[in-house]
Every structure is written in C-alpha cells, then in structure tokens.
Amino acid sequence: MHVIDIDGRGAVEGLKGIRVLDFTWAGAGPLAMALIRMMGAEVVKVESATRPDMARAMARLYGWSTENSLDRSPSFNDLGAEKLSVTLDLRQPKAREIAQRLAARADVICDNMRPGKMETLGLGYEQVSKVNPRVVCCSISATGRLDPGNDLDIPGYAPVFWAEGGGGSVTGWPEGGPSYLRSPVDLNAGTMACVGILAALHARLTTGRGAFIDCSAIETVVAAVGDELMAASLGLPAGGVRGNERLPYAPNDAFPCKGKDQWVAISIHDNTQWRSMCEVLGATELAADMALLSREGRWKRRNELYAPIAALTATWDALTLEEALQARGVPAAQSKSLRTLFGDEALNARGFWKLLKHPLMEDQKVGALAWNLMPPMPEPDRGGALLGEHNAQVLEEWLGIGHAEFEQLKAQNLFV
Amino acid sequence: MNVAASPAAPAATLGTAPTPVAALPMAGTTILELGASTAGQFAGRLLASLGARVIKIEPLGGEPERRGPDMVRDCNGRQRSLAFEYLNAGKQSIAIDLDDGFLAEFILKFSAPDAVILSSPKYAPRVPAAFEGVLAKVGPYGEAHNHGDPPTTPLTRYQAGGDGSLIPPGPEPTLRPTFPGTLVGDCFAGAGAAVSILGTLYMKKTDARLKSEPQPAIDFSQQAHLLMIQKLFLGRVWGEKMELTRANNRYAFGGAVKCKDGFVSMLVLEEHQWKGLCTAMGRKEWLTDPRFATGTTRWENQAVIQAGLEAWCGTRSVADVLAATRALSVPIGHIATLPEVLQKEYLRERGYLQEAESDLGRIVTMGLPFGRDPMWQGAHAVLAPGAGEHTAAILRGLARSDADIELLERLGVVQCM
C-alpha cells in the first residue's frame, strides 16, 4: 500500500495503527475486512490449510476447475489484497492460546462463523473484552444471536440470506419465478458490518470502550427491502416477482441491442424524456401517437410498447445508444457485464481499477474503494498473501516472539 | 402536528427502553442532507439510526421524491411516499429557498470538524468553501462521468453496476436482464456511502493530515460500489479471461427450488453439506457415486442433481424440506414473501422488527442489524418528517427569534410546516 502526498502537506494514512484480527472466511466477513484494510488498517487473517478463506478454494468449491492451490485464487487475490496471513490450527490448545494473545492486542476482531463458535475458541467478545476492554468485535452470521433456548440454527450463504430476508420474493420475472442474487448479498452484509465497526470505533474515541456487533446477514437483506416491507405491514400490495415493472416509469425495461446478449435499460418518466427517446430511436409512429403523451397513456399500454421499441434498439450498439439517450436527458444505461466494466470510461476516469502484483499469478485488475477522498487515501498495490506468509512477522510484531521461540512453536505443528 | 414523524417518537419496544440518543455511537455528529441521491438518503437513515442528527435541507415545498411511488394517504388525508418515508425516517427537515444566500449562511452555522454535508455531485457546488467539515458527494457515477450527472432510475442505476446483466440466472438466458426490489441497489450503495462517511469522520479525528484539512471531500460512486460487492467473482472474470452471464452465474444445483407450497433456496459448497443433503434426500448412494465425488464433477453432472432435488422438494412442503435438511447443516432458506418475513419470530426477537402506531396506521419498523448491545438499540424511527417540520425549531436553536423566523417565512426564504 502506498501513500500519496499531493501537496507536500503530508499523506493521509487512514486507519494506520488500527490492528485487526480477522477470523472471517466466507464472503461477507472478508469484504468487511477488505474495506477496513483499504482504509489503511493492518488486517491479519487467521486461517489454516484445513480452514482457509473460502475465496482461496473457490474454483474447487464451486466446481469451476480442479485448481487446488490455495495461493493461486484470483478471487482471494482481490478480496484478500494487502491482508497479512497467519495460519493457526485452532483445534490445538496452544494455537488457541496464541490466537487469544493476539486478540488481547487487537483493536478489532471479526468473524463470520456460526454463533457460539468463537466462544468455544475462547475468542468471544465477553471473553476477550475482559482482558482487552477496548476491543471491537464483529460477528456476522445468518440470524445473529437469538434468545437462550432458541435452537433455531440457520447455516447459510447468500441464497439463504436473500431468501429469508424477502429478497427472493421481489426479484425475477413472473414466468421464471423468484430469483437470487449472489455476490452482492454476501458483500452487502460485509458492508453493513463495516458500518457497525466504524461506528463502534468512533464511539470508542469518546468512551474508551469497545463494543459487540452481532450482525445478522438476513437483517441486512430486510433493510434493503424495507420500503416494501413497510407497505406489506400496512396491508398494502407489496413486493412480488414483477420483472422490470415499476411505477411511475413506462416504459421501464431492458431492450435488446446489436450483438449477443446486449441490452440497454431505459426508463421514461415524463413527456420530455419520451419525446427525446423517440427522436433518438427514430420512433416516428410512437412519437405521433398522442395517447402516449401522458404518463397514464404510456402506463396503460406499457406492455404493447415493448416490441416496437425493441425493434428499434436492436439496430443500435448498446453503449452508443446509452450515450445518445443520456446526452438527451433520458435515463438509460447499458446492461454492462462485469468484463465490460473493466474498460468502463467513468470507472477508469475516477481511477477505480488498480493493478495488483502477486508472486504466483499475473498482474490483476481489482476495484479500489468506491469513494475517492481528497486528500487521497493510501492505494493498494499488493495482492492476497500466500497462506501463512506472515506467521513469523505477525508473531514478532504483535507478541514479541523471536526467531528461536517461533521455531519451537512451528515444530509443534501449530502453523498449518 | 405529525407526531409519528418526530424522531423522538419511539416504536414499540421489547420491554426495555430504547437507548437515549446521547449514548448512541454517532451522537453529537450533525449531518446536513442537501439534494442527496436515493443512496445518499439511505446512508443518512443509517447515520440517524446510529445517533447522528440528520437535517434534510429541502427546497420550499419539499423534495420531489416526496411524490414518488408508492403513495399512501395518511390519517390527515396527506399523500405520502412510502419509499421517501422509509429512506428519511429519523431525520429532521428544514425547507429553504435553495437559490437564496440564506442557504450558505445556514450551512455555515453548522461548520465543525465532525459535521458532514451529504450531497450529490449536482448540489455540492452550493456548499460554501468556508464550511469546515466533511463534504460527501454521493452520486450514481461519482463526479467523473462524461455526461455529468445524467438522470437515472433504480433500473438504470442497477444495470450500470454489472449485476443487472446477471439476473435472473438460468441455464439459458431466455429472460432479459432485470433488477431486484426497487430500492435494493440504492440501499446497497447507501451502506457503502455510510462507510465512506464514517471512515472519513473517524480518520478526521485520528489522521494527522486529515485533521488539518478543512473540508475533506468524498466522491462516492454508486456504480463503483455495486462492482465492489462483486468481488467474489470479479477475480474469476479477470483471471480466467471469461465472461460471467445469466447462463453461467448460477449455482451448480440448488438456487430457488419449488416445493409443494412455496420455494426454498440453497447453496451446497462443503463436503459435509453435500453429505447432509444426500442423506436428507435419501440418496446416500450419491455419496459414493464418482459423478458427484467433487465440486467439479457435481458441476458437470448438475442436471442429474437438480432433477433429483426438484423431484424431492416438489412433493414436500417448505417446512418439511427445511426440517429435514437443516438438521443436517445444509445451508437452505425459505424464499419468504414479505408478509411471511413480517411473521419471522427471530427478526422480532432481536428487536430488529418492531411495530408502532403512525399516521399511516400500525406499521412495522426496522432498526440496525447489529444485535442487542444498547449501542445499536436506539428508538426506531417510524416515518420521515414533513417538509419544513423542524424549520422553526432548528432556527430557534441557532438563536433566531420568532420575529426573524416569521420574516424569513414572509420573504419566502424558509417554510415552516
């Protein structure tokens, strides 16, 4: 990570000095820790060859390929960028003791294990805060902690959170049934967890005390459909699988463009936008239809509008059409694929993409923070750590364990 | 008087009093919202829930989003936008002629190192340079866009961020791209914007360079954030030089599966989960079948597994499927309709969902998803303030006399509700 001094007044070092112990391993937690790291904190991942960050083994777990190396995952290289890696076999008491000593020196501890797991390792908030009252602990799970005696246990990933929180029932086409989102669900939970961590750190500046963030991934989904849930609670029709149909826009849909699976989304609200769209597309018949010069007229005929508009958009390049419509004040966006976005003009202009180095893989383009700060934040330049790459470094810097003692511990097979 | 809209009006609680604002983590911080985007408004809602004082500076007559769908009539006969009510609950409102010099004067009254202007690229130029606080500009594309600040909608904002091209997933992309619930993408981005503000506020108190910077400026891009939350798969797209589409952005098997009385959703990744699923389905022979020995071979033979899964679920109720699989640690969920979400006891048990009386009737409110530490248990905000509801009170707090306020109102500079 390198800092940038733009005007000779010193560089922003962000969260430098904040030490984070990261037991997260699946999606949400690693993203929360990536955000904290990108803001400058030191993040030490605690993992092992038998329980690595899931992103290290993603290709094999999802069945994309037979790649078995835990050090050659592009997903981990991105999510794990600039984090340090310590391998501890937490099944062994001595390794747990080391983890607890590290925890005693941490400002932030984060996990996304099922509720209770950290406590069995002696790493729960109540345990750690006895020796480290300033610690901020964040635990991300499907439901969060429930009442004692409530034995509901929902193990889960994104499709579970999305389903239980109501997201599935408001996404998809009627003919296709409810649909799921993948990465955004997990990583939104991580973003929300980061909100809690930063708020707790902020409060600590005043109180001197830490806090526990018991983040429910399902609740983070509920928050994203809150307006529709409010409507449902009032007994109003709400939600439902309804494709792109949304009041007050008509048309409001994805229209085909030239090429395979190329689309542009267009939303029309008022007559000015409608006329402009018709002019850009050369839709003379639609423009001449006086009944369509009202919101009500377009809404009532929204379904029959799709085909004639689609016939015209199909002759356009999607990006060219997006630009032509936006230039006329019409809400429009190419339905951009992830690969297309690596070359997106707006993202490149703001310096969003960074090139990371990795010892075993080619240079990789990854997204930085979604926000630019002026004066600028430090920028990442190093990819994800090799498994256990920083065992000796972290034990020395955090615990003062020297070379000889480290070798003794290593001989006990604690670092695997 | 719209009692329900007051930030002080608490929702029904769990039997314990809500934590006083002064004990919430962002107490003492003031956020001025000026022309904030939808994502910015959700960020403001989160910050208000954390104890910040969030003041919406609205144009006379209120923000146009107050007339956005879906509109509901309250007990006073007033039409209210549910989206606006949700996004702006817990805030205060002052209505000002945004073209009058009084706006700059008002903003400067709140100038302080830990104050924030939450705005959009379009409105940010109205913020005086002398304002000493954080300027957060939250926009669909951030500042660097070739068409400046183009008009957008929930659909176009979502499609611009990449995920729209991936839903709905299916073996053949016969269905065109769509987007999730209306505000989902904006709420995702709003959480990211809240991170940017909280991070900058913290650093402004601890980082030597930022301490001396009078007006640090955040340029937040919703499009960039929607990509940020694709990090699970962006690496694969880059590393394998492949394209992710609706055809291949799906689970090998599982996803949404139909039962007799609804749908379940599942993802099986780890071996013990696969074992649990096979056991629950009574297909133990699959555990030794070489076609399903690894994640890779299961991907190759996904059609067989999916067909078996659909046949098994299709003859059972959601409850039976959940009971059989969860007992064996299979990650599975019920695709709940919104009325079903409202009935989930575990969401109420933690205090996340609460009920309150409001001008719209008895309504469910949402808190913070962070559990029961009192730090996260402030009073649930119920509805948004009326436009200018707090104009007089805020101005009195700035030592303006009632005569001053009356004159400003007669001059058309401010509006009181």
B-proximal residues of A, 180-199, CB under 8 Å: 180-184, 186-188, 190-192, 194-196, 198-199
What is the arithmetic mean of pLDDT over B36-64? 97
Q: Predicted confidence band at B11 (pLDDT cuts at 50, 70, 90)?
A: very low
DSSP of B249-305 = SS-SS-EEEEETTEEEEE---SHHHHHHHHHHHT-GGGGG-GGGSSHHHHHHTHHHH
Mean pLDDT value across chain B: 92
Tens-digit pLDDT profile for residues A393-405: 999 999 999 999 9
| Residue A2 resides in a domain | no
Same domain, A138 and A107: yes
Largest CA distance in chain B: 85
Same domain, B52 and B172: yes
Q: Using the beta-carbon criterion (under 8 Å), do B263 and A65 form an inter-chain contact?
A: no
Residue A328 neighbours by CB distance under 10 Å: 18
pLDDT of residue A148: 87
Q: Is the pLDDT of residue A168 over 50?
A: yes
Domain extent at residue B56: 3-229+351-415
Residue where a domain stops, chosen among B312, B341, B370: B341
Same domain, A213 and A275: no
Q: Please state the domain count of chain A.
A: 2
Answer whether A106's CB lies under 8 Å from A132's CB.
Answer: yes
CA-nearest residue to A223 within chain B is: B366
Residues in A touching B175 (Cβ below 8 Å): 173, 175-176
Distance between first and last Cα of chain B: 9
Percent of chain B with pLDDT over 70: 95
Q: Using the beta-carbon criterion (under 8 Å), do A202 and B191 form an inter-chain contact?
A: no
A177 in reach of chain B (CB within 8 A): yes
| Residue B235 resides in a domain | no
Residue A87 is given by DSSP the state E
Q: Predicted confidence band at A10 (pLDDT cuts at 50, 70, 90)?
A: confident
Q: Predicted confidence band at B198 (pLDDT cuts at 50, 70, 90)?
A: very high
Same domain, A333 and A358: no
Answer whether B34's CB lies under 8 Å from B119's CB.
Answer: yes
> How many angstroms separate the CA atoms of A199 and A205, rounded?
10
Same domain, B166 and B34: yes
Residue where a domain stops, chosen among B322, B341, B360: B341
Give phi and psi for A205, each to the nearest 5.
Answer: -60, -30
| Residue B241 resides in a domain | no
Rg of chain A in Å (alpha carbons) = 25
B360 in reach of chain A (CB within 8 A): yes
pLDDT of residue B2: 33
pLDDT of residue B239: 87
Residue where a domain stops, chosen among B341, B364, B398: B341
Of B167, B235, B360, the CB nearest to A78: B235
pLDDT of residue A60: 80
Percent of chain A with pLDDT over 70: 100
Q: Predicted confidence band at B306 (pLDDT cuts at 50, 70, 90)?
A: very high
Same domain, B178 and B280: no
- Identify the CATH number of the domain in which residue B307 sits: 3.30.1540.10
Listed residue (B206, B172, B335, B209) closest to B261, CA to CA: B335
Same domain, B57 and B111: yes
What is the arithmetic mean of pLDDT over B240-247? 90
SS3 state at B47:
helix
Of B221, B223, B333, the CB nearest to A164: B333
pLDDT of residue A65: 78
Percent of chain A with pLDDT over 90: 88
Give phi and psi for A260, each to the nearest 5.
Answer: -75, 130
B1 in reach of chain A (CB within 8 A): no
| Residue B239 resides in a domain | no
Same domain, A184 and A300: no
Higher pLDDT among residues A1 and A167, named by residue: A167
- Identify the CATH number of the domain in which residue A367 sits: 3.40.50.10540
Which helix H or strand E contains B55, and what residues bound it?
strand B53-58
Same domain, B291 and B197: no
> How many angstroms separate the CA atoms of A321 and A265, rounded?
10
Same domain, A102 and A166: yes
Q: Is the pLDDT of residue B410 over 60?
A: yes
Q: How far is A207 from chain B (nearest CA, A)?
A: 9
Residues in B touching A66 (Cβ below 8 Å): 294, 296
A84 in reach of chain B (CB within 8 A): no
Burial class of residue A364 in the structure, from the number of CB atoms within 10 Å of its CB (0-12 exposed, 13-18 middle, 19+ buried): buried
Which helix H or strand E contains A356, and what residues bound it?
strand A353-356
Q: Using the beta-carbon criterion (under 8 Å), do A246 and B155 form an inter-chain contact?
A: yes
Same domain, B336 and B395: no
Same domain, A131 and A256: no
Which helix H or strand E contains A140, and what residues bound it?
strand A136-141
Same domain, B398 and B324: no
Residues in B touching A34 (Cβ below 8 Å): 231
Paired tokens of A214: 């018991």
Q: Using the beta-carbon criterion (under 8 Å), do B296 and A66 form an inter-chain contact?
A: yes
Same domain, B20 and B98: yes
Cα B391 to the chain's mean position, in Å?
A: 27
Q: Is the pLDDT of residue B13 over 60?
A: no
| Residue A77 resides in a domain | yes
CA-nearest residue to A310 within chain B is: B176
Tens-digit pLDDT profile for residues A276-332: 999 999 999 999 999 999 999 999 999 999 999 999 999 999 999 999 999 999 999
Q: Please state the domain count of chain B.
A: 2
Residue B37 neighbours by CB distance under 10 Å: 28
Give phi and psi for A337, each to the nearest 5.
Answer: -80, 160
B159 in reach of chain A (CB within 8 A): yes
Q: Is the pLDDT of residue A370 over 60?
A: yes
Which helix H or strand E contains A177, and what residues bound it?
none
Instruction: Report H helices in B216-257.
Output: 222-228, 231-239
What is the arithmetic mean of pLDDT over B318-334? 95
Same domain, B69 and B179: yes
Residue where a domain stops, chosen among A290, A305, A337: A337
Residue B361 is given by DSSP the state S
Rounded to two decimals, what is the model's pTM?
0.96
| Residue A390 resides in a domain | yes
- Identify the CATH number of the domain in which residue B402 sits: 3.40.50.10540
Residues in A touching B360 (Cβ below 8 Å): 234
| Residue A277 resides in a domain | yes
List the beta bridge partners of residue A22: A45, A110
Tens-digit pLDDT profile for residues B211-227: 999 999 999 999 999 99
CA-nearest residue to A356 within chain B is: B235
> How many angstroms separate the CA atoms of A280 and A301, rounded?
21
| Residue A240 resides in a domain | no
| Residue B271 resides in a domain | yes
Residues in A touching B139 (Cβ below 8 Å): none
Residue where a domain stops, chosen among A337, A369, A387: A337
Taking the alpha carbons of A31, A33, A38, A44 in that order, is the dihedral positive or negative? negative
Same domain, A317 and A378: no
pLDDT of residue B417: 86
A-proximal residues of B, 210-239, CB under 8 Å: 210, 212-213, 216-239
CA-nearest residue to B139 within chain A is: A371
| Residue A260 resides in a domain | yes
Same domain, A161 and A299: no
Q: Predicted confidence band at A5 (pLDDT cuts at 50, 70, 90)?
A: confident
Give phi and psi for B209, each to the nearest 5.
Answer: -70, -45
| Residue B118 resides in a domain | yes
Instruction: Report H helices in B315-355.
Output: 318-326, 338-342, 345-349
Tens-digit pLDDT profile for residues B127-163: 999 999 999 999 999 987 766 778 999 999 999 999 9
Omega into A375 within 30° of 0, i.e. cis? yes
Tens-digit pLDDT profile for residues B366-377: 999 999 999 999
Same domain, A291 and A376: no
| Residue A245 resides in a domain | no
Q: How far is B228 from chain A (nearest CA, A)?
A: 6
Same domain, A154 and A271: no
DSSP of B149-175 = S----HHHHHHHTSGGGG-S--SS--S
B112 in reach of chain A (CB within 8 A): no
Domain extent at residue A103: 19-224+350-411
SS3 state at B137:
strand
A vs B: CB pairs below 8 A: 555
Q: Using the beta-carbon criterion (under 8 Å), do A13 and B195 form an inter-chain contact?
A: no
C-alpha distances (whole Å) from B142 to each of A347, B37, B129, B150, B218 are: 9, 11, 20, 11, 9
3-state SS, one letter per residue, for A274-331: HHHHHHHHCCHHHHHCHHHCCHHHHHHCHHHHHHHHHHHHCCCCHHHHHHHHHHCCCC
Burial class of residue B242 in the structure, from the number of CB atoms within 10 Å of its CB (0-12 exposed, 13-18 middle, 19+ buried): middle
Would the ipTM clear 0.95, i.e. be above it?
yes
| Residue A375 resides in a domain | yes
Tens-digit pLDDT profile for residues A56-89: 998 888 777 777 789 999 999 999 999 999 999 9
Same domain, B322 and B363: no
Same domain, B211 and B327: no
Listed residue (B11, B58, B40) closest to B121, CA to CA: B40
| Residue B238 resides in a domain | no
Tens-digit pLDDT profile for residues B256-271: 899 999 999 999 988 9
- Tokens 């006399």 -> residue: B401
What is the arithmetic mean of pLDDT over B229-248? 92
Same domain, B43 and B189: yes
Same domain, A263 and A359: no
Q: How far is A55 from chain B (nearest CA, A)?
A: 7
Q: Which residues contact B17 (CB under 8 A, 6 or more apart)?
A: none
Q: Predicted confidence band at A156 (pLDDT cuts at 50, 70, 90)?
A: confident
Burial class of residue B71 in the structure, from the number of CB atoms within 10 Å of its CB (0-12 exposed, 13-18 middle, 19+ buried): middle
Same domain, A195 and A261: no
Rg of chain B in Å (alpha carbons) = 25
- Tokens 């379904």 -> residue: A303
Q: Using the beta-carbon criterion (under 8 Å), do A243 and B228 form an inter-chain contact?
A: no
What is the arithmetic mean of pLDDT over B285-292? 96
SS3 state at B187:
helix
Q: Is the pLDDT of residue A392 over 90?
A: yes
